[in-house]
Amino acid sequence: MSKGIVISPDKCTGCRTCELVCSFTKNDTFNPKDSAISVQFFDEVGIQVPMTCLQCDEPHCMTVCTVNALTKDEETGIVHYDSEKCIGCKLCVSACPFGNMTYSSRLKKVVKCDLCDGYPQCVKLCPSGALEYKELDSNLQKRKDIASQFVEVFGEGAK
Ligand code: SF4
């Protein structure tokens, strides 16, 4: 069993503190473009949803990487990224089914959540408690958790 970040869109105020905390922690900048967590705004229903890597059980990003720059720690469940090995082909970015990986042309590397090695700073500093770091049974559960939150916020049959 591994731990992951669980989001509560109903608690997110859209302050984007998580993005700044992440970019500063990982890349020494205060720039949402350098953040591995990204707040999506749904203005029509007035909610905000922070999105980040789900540390998939069978990560597509890892499968397509030809130079093994992405590896999964089977004990913690964290998918780690090695910028030294990365050749910048961006295959992993297009392979992520959730759009949770980006490539920074400025930093010349992939921006991807690694749960701060088990101490996610975005969770620690989110002022509204919209992010939690907790045990998850499986990747399927992670997806179901997120889907159920969307149903809660948008309502059944929302598109
Ligand atoms: S951009 Fe880097 S990490 Fe992503 S697939 Fe290419 S080499 Fe691998």
Task: Give CA–CA dist 87/109, Å, rounded.
Answer: 9
pTM of the model: 0.84
State mean pLDDT over 79-105.
Answer: 95
* Tokens coding 19: 């993005």
Predicted confidence at residue 46, as pLDDT, reads: 86
The mean pLDDT of the chain is 90
- Whether the CB of 146 sits within 6 Å of ligand 1: no
Q: How far is CA 114 from CA 53, 89, 99, 130, in A?
A: 8, 20, 15, 19
Cα-to-centroid distance, 38 and ligand 1 (Å): 20
For the stretch 38-91, pLDDT in tens is 999 998 888 899 999 999 999 999 999 999 999 999 999 999 999 999 999 999
Mean pLDDT score, 110-128: 97
pLDDT at 143: 63
List residues bridging with 48 in a β-sheet. Answer: 41
- Å from CA of 108 to ligand 1 middle: 11
